[in-house]
Structure 1
Amino acid sequence: MTEALRIVVVAPDLDVADPGDEHAVRLAGRSRALRIGLLENGFNLVATLPADVFLSERIAQLQPDLIVVDAESDARDALEYVVLATRDARRPIVLFTNDEDTSHVKDAVAAGVCAYVVAGLAPQRIRPILDVALARFRHEQALRAELAGARAELRERKIIERAKGLLMQRQGLSEQEAYAKLRKAAMDKSLRLAELAQRMLDALDLLD
């Protein structure tokens, strides 16, 4: 359920040292509005973190389901920290920004950003944006898993074919006989066929 999502916001500090700094005041107000919008939409906001060198460690500790990045002119810098922090454990990332320089949107999406929203802080927009971002992330993860499975299956087929070829060559077996011998050995040892084939190849490499 969306309400159970644990969200971490990566954003600048809300404290404004100089009340006369209009840019800082505007940025703080915008960031505050985002956090209020998340809470009003029933999301579980577990922490607000700065984009710095400690971000990876903090995200690893908190294990959020989704990361919301709130950035303005430093969107690229903030994203670099977030991408590094999620490199080993991918998570959906949503970026809210007023930065109209969209030249790095392609790089951001390639790095794992599921939604790149410019000037989109209206509270009623937050939930559908996050829902779509999460759905997109899950879809991409499913595709990644499917691709990884296909690659693993191809590797296993190549291992089995190589082992079968060696049996045919060394024992004068037909292709069917070699396959049957591999399959029986795998069943006898309670191993997967590819695992038995790999063990056989490893043993032959030691003997050669």
Structure 2
Amino acid sequence: MNADLRILVVEPNPERVRDIVDALREAGWSDVKALLQMSELNQTVREFSPDIVLIDLTNPDRDTLEHISHATETAKRAVALFVDQTDENLTQAALNAGVSAYVVDGLQMDRIKPVLQTAIARFKMMRQFHFELNAAKQALEDRKTIDRAKGILMRQRGMSEDDAYKLLRTTAMRQNRKVIDVAQALVTAADLLS
């Protein structure tokens, strides 16, 4: 558990806020800020820059979930949402909004620590998944560009595919650049000349 986490608690009931903050401190988290008004969420997130946002709602709706997603920037931080009641559509909307933990039956003080730990772990896992997915997409795009550059060299110089790649690679080494950068420059030049 990381005791240095900055936690923002969003709860409209001041008494309940005290209970939540006390439970968080008992669990080992001390950098906690409470927010009573959902309307101040955007500004508070910008100013406080929490690692995790804990939101306790009685009855969420799609608009609220969308607001939470944008305000908390769910791609940058974990969000644990506690609700008293839900339905299948709201559950799906919460997951689509990027909520890391969606807990039905409200916030129980004895469940705060394991739920937040789970939310943080899930957030890290999803962030790693997105990173790997983006890396794979970029690798595929780079491969397409390199293949296109090889095709240009093969047509213009009558080279084999292996020789075209060797030329790209030796040019990259000579210029102290990456193969993808040389390939991109060749493709861009070919597009300009066609």
How high is the TM-score relative to the length of structure 2?
0.89
Report which stretch shifted further, 179-188 or 54-63: 54-63
- Deviation of residue 131 (structure 1)? 0.6
Tell me the distance in 2 between the aligned counterparts of 1:184 and 1:121. 61
Alignment partner, residue 29 of structure 2? 43
Whether the aligned pair in 1 keeps the contact of 2:74 and 2:97 (CA below 8 Å) is: no
Give the SS at the match of 1:206.
helix
Q: What amino acid is aligned across from residue 51 of structure 1 in structure 2?
A: M
Residue 168 of structure 1 aligns with which residue? Answer: 154
Check 1:110–1:88 CA distance in 2 against 1; reply closer, same or farther (3 A cut).
closer
- CA-based RMSD of the aligned residues comes to 2.0
Q: What TM-score do you get using the length of structure 1 for normalisation?
A: 0.84
List alignment gaps of at least 5 residues for structure 2. Answer: none
Give, in angstroms, the shift of residue 73 of structure 1. Answer: 2.5
Matched, 1:8 2:8: yes
Q: Does 1:198 align with 2:184?
A: yes
| 8 A contact 2:56–2:107 mirrored in 1 | no
The answer to whether the aligner puts 1:145 opposite 2:131 as a matched pair is: yes
**Superposed CA offset, 1:47-83 (max 9, x none):** 223212x422321222211110111134655433220
Q: Does 1:177 align with 2:163?
A: yes
1:120 Cα deviation from its structure 2 partner = 4.5
**2:169 and 2:179 in contact (8 A); partners too:** yes
SS of the residue 2:23 aligns to: helix
Q: CA separation in 1, counterparts of 2:83 and 2:75?
A: 24
Equivalent pairs: percent with the same residue? 39
Conserved 8 A contact 1:38-1:45? no
The runs of at least 4 consecutive aligned structure 1 residues that moved more than 6 Å come to: none
What is the DSSP-based 3-state SS (H/G/I as helix, E as strand, rest coil) of the residue aligned with 1:8? strand
C-alpha displacement of 1:11:
2.3
**Is residue 71 of structure 2 the alignment partner of residue 85 of structure 1?**
yes
How far the C-alpha of 1:112 sits from its partner, in A, is 1.1
Corresponding residue pairs, total: 192
Instruction: Select between 131-140 and 34-43 the one with higher mean Cα deviation.
Output: 34-43
- Equivalent-residue separation in structure 2 for 1:30 and 1:140 (angstroms): 30
